Amino acid sequence: MDGTRFTRNLLDWYDANRRDLPWRDDPGPYPVWISEIMAQQTQMDRVVEYHRRWMRHYPDPEALAKAPEEAVLKSWEGLGYYNRARNIRKAAARIVDEFGGEFPSDPAVIRSLPGIGEYTAGAIASIAFGQPVPAIDANVLRVFARVLDIDTPIREKAGRGQVEACVRELLPEDRPGDFNQALMELGALVCSRLPDCPVCPVKEHCLAHARGTIGARPVLPPGKDIIRINMATGVLVHEGQALIQKRRPDDVWPGLWEFPGGCLEQGETPEEALVREYREEVELDVVPEEKITVVAYSYTRYRVTMHCYLCRPANGDVPAPVFNAAVEGGFVQPASLADYAFPSGHRRLIDFMRNDLRFAELFRLS
């Protein structure tokens, strides 16, 4: 392969076709860092709005280090993988404490920050500091699985090693950041799962294209089984307020808020599960009064069907809840539910209630 020509074709295509992203005008390390963390396992189109809002709230590492974790999680609500948000905040504190608020430029130091792995360190070093280091993400792996026609699973060491060697050889000293971004942009816009080979700027260099093996590249690992679960959750309303609780740090969705509830056990109806879960989690007796809706959502390898009920206390006397499954909790005004970070399923339940006339009074009162 003519490496010089490959790189020139790619960069010319990138200059003409790259998307206009907020941090691309002036790629400083802080905006680039935030964009790279947000983009992990997340499509760029979704990142843009979060990034804009983030820069307004936390314009620099100092603002971020000072912000309460609650506020940072709320800013991250809906993006998922919430440890990313926690780690950004921890890293910001280190940047302020150890580096006087200046983002470090040494790749090894960048790599040592929480939440920054091999890929992200390379991306920041090359894009924000112009250092000739690779940044190999899923796009780059897919592109070179095709260009080199790699017939082993691309996430495994052998294939990865081939890709990295190739990237290092092609990486131009003068525009390493643009080169890395161009590979990713190509993977996102042209060399995607179903590639658009006719418009590809490097098809003349592509072995899989020449051999007709594009459809078989990259070689993927076997898919994992999906687990379907049914859950019940209840919005307990007492004196115009709703009960929420904050999830534990070692649990799924650490630090996010939710309505009490849980998985249906064998043979249980959603209502029965709800009554049981309320006893177990908060030691309250509740009566499911009305089905609100059913929310379907998924997380990692689970597909959840969540049955949602409006509940009232079973007895006139309502003792203080005991939070056995959460770090804290309490009754809050329905209107203030907007201020807490919820997992997407619970957020959608809240949105549903806010838009359903049956619950208009509840939300208006608060």
Q: Which listed residue (29, 159, 313, 345) binds DNA by CB under 7 A?
A: 345
- DSSP class per residue in 128-147: HH--------HHHHHHHHHH
The verdict on 188 binding DNA (CB under 7 A) reads yes
Kindly state the tokens that stand for 222: 């076997």
Task: Supply the DSSP symbol for 214.
Answer: G
Does 137 participate in binding DNA (rule CB under 7 A)? Answer: yes
Verify binding: residue 126, DNA, rule CB under 7 A.
no
Angle 118-129/176-189 helices, nearest 10 degrees? 120
Q: Smallest distance, Å, CB 48 to DNA?
A: 10
Query: With left for phi above 0 and alpha for psi between -120 and 50, is residue 321 left, alpha or beta?
Result: beta
Distance of alpha carbon 223 from alpha carbon 330, whole angstroms: 41
Could you say whether residue 26 binds DNA (CB under 7 A)?
no
Q: Which of 165, 299, 336, 338 binds DNA (CB under 7 A)?
A: 299
157 is a contact residue toward DNA (CB under 7 A): yes
CB of 13 to DNA, least distance (A): 13
Point out which span in 76-84, 93-101, 235-243, 274-282 binds DNA (CB under 7 A): 76-84
CB 65 within 8 A of CB 89: yes
The yes or no reply on residue 352 touching DNA (CB under 7 A) is: no
Q: Which stretch binds DNA (CB under 7 A): 101-109, 112-120, 280-288, 319-327?
A: 112-120
Does 355 bind DNA (CB under 7 A)? Our answer is no
- Give CB contacts under 8 A, 24+ apart, made by 131-137: 131/105, 131/107, 131/176, 132/171, 132/172, 132/173, 132/176, 133/107, 133/171, 133/176, 134/164, 134/167, 134/168, 134/171, 134/180, 135/180, 135/184, 136/160, 136/163, 136/164, 136/167, 137/184, 137/187
Choice from 297, 323, 331, 352 touching DNA (CB under 7 A): 297
Amino acid at 52: R
Check if 185 is active-site. no
Residue 37 backbone class (left: φ over 0; alpha: ψ -120 to 50; beta: rest): alpha
Residue (87 or 241) nearer to DNA, CB: 87
Residue 79 touching DNA (CB under 7 A): yes
CA distance 27 to 344: 31
To DNA, the closest distance from the beta carbon of 286 in angstroms equals 24
The piece of 94-102, 177-185, 267-275, 319-327 that touches DNA (CB under 7 A) is 177-185
Min. distance of Cβ 265 from DNA in angstroms? Answer: 20
Using rule CB under 7 A, residue 324 touches DNA: no
Q: Which residues pair with 286 in a beta bridge?
A: 313
**57-82 burial string, b = 16+ CB within 10 Å, else e?**
ebebbeebbebeeebbbbbbbebbeb
Q: How many residues bind DNA (CB under 7 A)?
A: 57
Of 298, 324, 336, 366, the one binding DNA (CB under 7 A) is 298
Copy the structure tokens of residue 44.
């760029």
Of 123 and 166, CB closest to DNA: 123
Assess 226 for contact with DNA (CB under 7 A): yes
Among 198, 212, 223, 267, binds DNA (CB under 7 A): 223
Give yes or no for residue 331 binding DNA (CB under 7 A): no
Coil, helix or strand at residue 288: strand
Active site residues: 36
Query: Which residues would be at the binding site for DNA (CB under 7 A)?
Result: 19, 21, 35-36, 39-44, 46, 78-83, 87, 114-121, 123, 137-139, 142, 156-157, 181, 184-185, 187-188, 192-194, 220, 223-224, 226, 251-254, 297-301, 343-345
